[in-house]
Amino acid sequence: MVSRKKDRRYLQSRQAIVEAGITALLANPEAGMSQIAQAAGIGRATLYRHFESREDLIKELVLVCYQEIDEALAPYENLHGRAAIDKIIDILMPMADRFRFLINLWSFIEDDKDLRRVEARMDQEMADVFDQAKAAGELNDILPTWWLVAFFNSTLMAAWTLIDSGSATSKEATQYMKQSFFSGCGSK
């Protein structure tokens, strides 16, 4: 017998649920399991075979977003300083839907210790990159590292907001973010 986790139909169904769940919850953070099942093109019973509750589904969706971010950044983990920051911006900009999803469900993430731990790890990894850039003289060493993390995240959100509203293309928003971040936080 084939394990459920390896069954092709099971995996295809699960992928459809992930994409539909993110899309549905982006459009309406209060979307219920019925709406998500309908968006995924499956029945509620199938959805409940994959996830016992809406909370389990949301937690899985958040973990998938974090995993996608980690996987996208992994090939560049040997970069340091400004080169790493440039590449991180290039990679994260097209992932706007994933980040907007995470932000829309931030209260859920804050209430879950496992998700908070993943978020803290990712923030610490950014802080380490910023510390490397500060040590190399590429970022202003007077600015506290956690200020740089918060500023980076806020600037990234501003760029995604412009893309989402149609006020900028992804390429333009990437350029604006790099200009803003490095002009505001670069070494003096």
Domains and CATH numbers, the chain: 1-52 (1.10.10), 58-185 (1.10.357.10)
Separate counts of helices (H) and strands (E) for the chain = 10, 0
Q: Per residue in 91-138, pLDDT tens?
A: 988 887 787 777 777 777 778 888 888 889 989 999 999 999 999 999
Give how far the C-alpha of residue 141 lies from the chain's centroid of Cα atoms, to the nearest Å. Answer: 27
pTM of the model: 0.82
Which pLDDT value is given to residue 4? 55
- Asked if residues 127 and 146 have their Cβ atoms less than 8 Å apart, the reply is yes
Burial class (CB in 10 A: 0-12, 13-18, 19+), 117: exposed
